[in-house]
Structure 1
Amino acid sequence: MSHSRRFRVLAVAVLAAATAFPAVPAVASTAGTALTWQPCAGVPEPDQGLQCTTMSAPLDYARPSGEKVTLAFSRLPSADPAKRRGVLVLNPGSQGDSQLALPLQLLALGLPQAVRDTYDLIAFDPRGAGNSTRVTCDLPVTFMIPPAYAVTDAGVDTQAAVARQNAEGCAAAPSAPLLPHITVRNVARDLDGIRAALGERRISFLGYSFGAFLGATYATMYPHRTDRVVLDSSTGPGGLDYTWSRRFASGFEKHFPDFAAWAAAQDATYGLGSTPEAVKAKYFALAAKLDQTPVETVDGATFRWINEALTQSDATFPLLAQVWQQAGNGTIARPPLPPGFDFSGLLAIVCNMDGWPKDVEVYRHAVAEDRARYPMLGAAAANVWACAFWPAQKTEPQVRITDRGPSNILMVQNLRDNGTDYPGGVEMRAALGHRAELLTVDQGGHRAYLFGTNACANAAVARYLAEGVRPAGDAFCPA
């Protein structure tokens, strides 16, 4: 895999939309719930049997006979029909391209045969993104999640102007009429429509990051249509709100020492510092240097963003070390995103959530506070989003996560997660109450199951999915 491709895979800050496979082209729509499955074009290993289809759903569920959106999804049938329990719906988190090949990615990451036998694996592109009906906002290639780091108070005003342009781009695009309806509540309704179209009474679910919040929302709206639910790397019960964004900074400060210790041990190779303290000092020095003298398309804000993105997995520490070397010798450049990659649908989902301030002064105060508390990333994570100027009016309230329903949810959360900081998972656990057990994992990075190397966590999640056996109460997986 090329460096630019690997960067794109893990530089989707938050977001956890990584994939080792290209987007799967859409196939012809189906009428009603009669699904016509076809081989998925564009998949590197079509002999594994991945199938694709589409169906329609109401744009506005208050007007079910009105305008429709297209939902694209895929299926990898159970490897052993005699052991098949049902379907396992997958969601990798926020995304900028199609994730219909996700079942194959999880197989490549080591999804156990027992899980593969137990379920048909189902992936889908939420409304607004991928091969489903898409939102387009003409976002610039420099769009960042979290936003740009504000070195001074003036940086808040600069980012506010950028955020306003992002929002105006969404409002001016042909897809603008879709915006009020790109909500987590509606994605959960779409998911239930997919369940019905598949002919399933209940679904099992494995969701990461935003996908974990979607899973919690679905389990709240349709508690008795859930079977075995795994929520990996959860936000707080408010979802992808301003609290979630600000927590990028605290999560980064917790995980960065893992990189600093690794880099110090590799000093003979990369020359980034012989102690963790020296590595951290070099981070600040490189960021300050690029604040004053940007190189090509990389300034200090972009350098900090790259660091947040490439510490979401310990596997990309070597790549990040090379980025630091390039920053030091003036050869660093921001790798381009693949054609068609677009965060517009994610932005719509995020900005339709509650909890986003409209007053720039709120952001200004928070940036100053978090720059002091979390100097490595705080002035980025607290900065202004397009949500401050969002053009769409809410059509209904956001779902409030509750504890009503069966006890069938396993949460798994890394202690040093810089995409969804650990306190959010604890808060989600409290909101779900008796319905959930929380497995805390002593590892860093965003996403635990299969994307991390902790054998205890991987075994616990696989056992629950394949056998229905959860830990007896909240549990801990040591490093």
Structure 2
Amino acid sequence: MMNLRNSRFRRTVTIGVSILGAAVGSVFPAGAEVPEQSRNLRSFYEQKIRWSPCSFDREVECASVEVPLDYSHPDGERISVAISRQKATDSKARRGVLFYNPGGPGGSGLTDWYGKSAPKEQFKNTPLNASYDLIGFDPRGVGKSAPLRCAKLDLPDITSRPTGKDFDHFAAWAKEFEKSCDELDGQRRKYFNTRNTARDMNVIRAALGERRINYVGYSYGTYLGAVYGSLFASRLDRSVLDSSMHPDKTGYAYMTWKAEAARRFVEEWAGWAAERDKTFGLGASVSEVMATVEAVSSRLAGHPAGGWDRNTFDAFLGFDAEDVAKWQELGERVAGLKSAGSGERFRKVPPVPKAAAGREVVEDATYTILAEGEWPQDIETYREQVRKNRDRLPYGFGPMGSLPLPPAFRSFTPPEAPTDIERDGYPRGMVIQAKRDSQTPYEGGVAMAQRLGDVLVSVDDHKHTQYASSNNRCVDEPVTEYLMQGALPSKPVNCPAAETG
């Protein structure tokens, strides 16, 4: 992916790895609702919540809810899940609670990137809080909810096209990271998974005294919402899944799928550049432009130019190809690097972009939750994938789609079978998907909408997460109307990218 000596790329890789997903099953039949009146669970559902002002926002209330560590043995160890509530401002128009999850896995639902109240900050420019109590929560293993602990081991140095030595270093890091998690939290970790988080949500719902919840989830949070609906169909009302994961792609398969998306965007840009060969001189076909790209990348491996080396070139080629607005600049960059030192007219190469400040990911929970998906346990499987994809998928986060992450060395056996995502017994909702989002590729949103029968909102954009965050009226207005009034669009919605400037 990139040379991780640069802190910009350490942060970028960490963020990229975090926007993932996986799932496991249940002690109850897949798709079945946990019996709420079970004698062993009654005390959890009927517990009283004690609210007090949140330390991070005195206008918001915070509390904790007790849940079983292992739902198959509810009389055993208990853990606390931290929750927050901003009460609806219009008591006459109140229609219940709106649960929120920002994704990750491992993202806090209590506070946002800057330590502010997450649901309140996310929806501050919407009228949602007039009719809903906004409910945030730290999923189990995250933040204030029995946080998982792992050693803080820096990612090893790798390149955009990992060598055998890179592979060995990365595999050693992943193995050591997983070992440290196991040493600190051991076999408890296997209960920190999506299915149990969904069960925790249902305990929170019952303790709040609510018959049903409404839900907005982003990225991995879309999977969590779909799992909740599959388990507790009668308890879910309106739901919005923004930047959806694919209902059938989890674990390692999801990582490789994301890498393929980055390659596709680069090829789409190459087609655009080929149509402008007279401008850029990169080639008159996709194959010719891609050959030029490879020639430039190969030369930069030994002779950096204009502040670019092979690793930064490959990485930002993938990042910028997602954004159509950057295609012109990207064409000039590749042309400039192609002609660097030759005296041709693209001698001025655009500088290396500065990475945007990113959120610090709670890696401790991230890799544990990811481990619930399918990960080959034979290290040679990953080595072969790296050899196969080294020169084909070097763009953006592509290399991370082949390398073994800590779940490849999983120290526990997931206790449950994978979730069968389905909508059987709750109303149709909405799925929002950007067409050029490599974190959760567009096809995943299409598949999720088809699986659930939800209305699909397609956005001609690259931004990961859209509703109430991209200032796109075409997205925000129908989604808000649905959440407030229950009115679904009669057909799929197609939106342009949000206007900028």
Structure 1 residue 349: Cα displacement = 0.5
Structure 1 residue 276: Cα displacement = 11
Matched, 1:241 2:222: no
Over residues 160-193 of structure 1, what are the superposed CA-to-partner deviations in whole Å (9 max), with x where a residue is unaligned?
2222112212221x21232110111101001111
CA–CA separation in structure 2 for the residues paired with 1:281 and 1:458: 41
Deviates more, 1:357-366 or 1:178-187: 357-366
CA distance 1:442–1:337, shift in 2 (3 Å): closer
CA–CA separation in structure 2 for the residues paired with 1:233 and 1:167: 28
Letter in 1 for 2:464: H
Structure 1 residue aligned with 2:469: 451
Long gaps (5+) in structure 1 = 18-29, 262-273, 321-327
Letter in 1 for 2:129: R
Structure 2 residue aligned with 1:77: 87
- CA contact under 8 A between 2:301 and 2:309: conserved in structure 1? yes
Structure 1 residue 203: Cα displacement = 0.2
Structure 2 residue aligned with 1:20: none
- How much identity, in percent, do the aligned residues show? 32
CA–CA separation in structure 2 for the residues paired with 1:223 and 1:31: 17
Task: Specify which of 397, 400, 403 is matched with residue 383 of structure 1.
Answer: 403
Q: Which has the greater radius of gyration?
A: 2
Q: What is the correspondence of 1:20-99 to structure 2 with a 5 Å cutoff?
A: 33-43=47-57, 46=58, 49-94=59-104, 96=106, 98-99=108-109
Letter in 2 for 1:383: L
Q: Which has the higher contact order (CA 8 A, sep 6+)?
A: 2
Letter in 1 for 2:236: T
CA–CA separation in structure 2 for the residues paired with 1:163 and 1:344: 13
Q: TM-score, normalised by structure 2?
A: 0.73
Structure 1 residue 400: Cα displacement = 1.1
Deviates more, 1:342-351 or 1:376-385: 376-385
CA–CA separation in structure 2 for the residues paired with 1:104 and 1:205: 17
Matched, 1:422 2:437: no
Structure 2 residue aligned with 1:162: 173
Over residues 48-76 of structure 1, what are the superposed CA-to-partner deviations in whole Å (9 max), with x where a residue is unaligned?
x2111111110000110100111011111
- CA contact under 8 A between 2:258 and 2:439: conserved in structure 1? yes
Over residues 134-175 of structure 1, what are the superposed CA-to-partner deviations in whole Å (9 max), with x where a residue is unaligned?
11121413379xx97443344333322222112212221x21
Structure 1 residue aligned with 2:492: 474
Letter in 2 for 1:455: R
CA–CA separation in structure 1 for the residues paired with 2:204 and 2:320: 34
Over residues 193-245 of structure 1, what are the superposed CA-to-partner deviations in whole Å (9 max), with x where a residue is unaligned?
11111111000000011100000000000111001011111111135422221
Q: What is the correspondence of 1:125-204 to structure 2 with a 5 Å cutoff?
A: 125-142=138-155, 149-172=160-183, 174-204=184-214
CA distance 1:11–1:446, shift in 2 (3 Å): farther
- CA contact under 8 A between 1:112 and 1:462: conserved in structure 2? no
Letter in 2 for 1:117: A
CA distance 1:152–1:9, shift in 2 (3 Å): closer
CA distance 1:92–1:41, shift in 2 (3 Å): same
Structure 2 residue aligned with 1:364: 383
Q: What is the correspondence of 1:263-274 to structure 2 with a 5 Å cutoff?
A: none
Letter in 2 for 1:122: I
Letter in 1 for 2:135: I
Structure 2 residue aligned with 1:115: 128
Q: What is the correspondence of 1:221-232 to structure 2 with a 5 Å cutoff?
A: 221-232=231-242
Q: TM-score, normalised by structure 1?
A: 0.76
- SS at structure 1 position matched to 2:389: helix
Structure 2 residue aligned with 1:21: none
CA–CA separation in structure 2 for the residues paired with 1:291 and 1:456: 44
CA–CA separation in structure 2 for the residues paired with 1:344 and 1:276: 47
Structure 1 residue 460: Cα displacement = 1.8
- CA contact under 8 A between 1:159 and 1:384: conserved in structure 2? yes
Letter in 2 for 1:384: P
Aligned residues, how many? 438
- CA contact under 8 A between 1:356 and 1:388: conserved in structure 2? yes
- CA contact under 8 A between 1:148 and 1:383: conserved in structure 2? no
CA–CA separation in structure 2 for the residues paired with 1:337 and 1:309: 15
CA–CA separation in structure 1 for the residues paired with 2:127 and 2:355: 41
Task: Specify which of 11, 16, 32 is matched with residue 13 of structure 1.
Answer: 16
Letter in 1 for 2:130: D
CA–CA separation in structure 2 for the residues paired with 1:82 and 1:472: 29
- CA contact under 8 A between 2:88 and 2:94: conserved in structure 1? yes
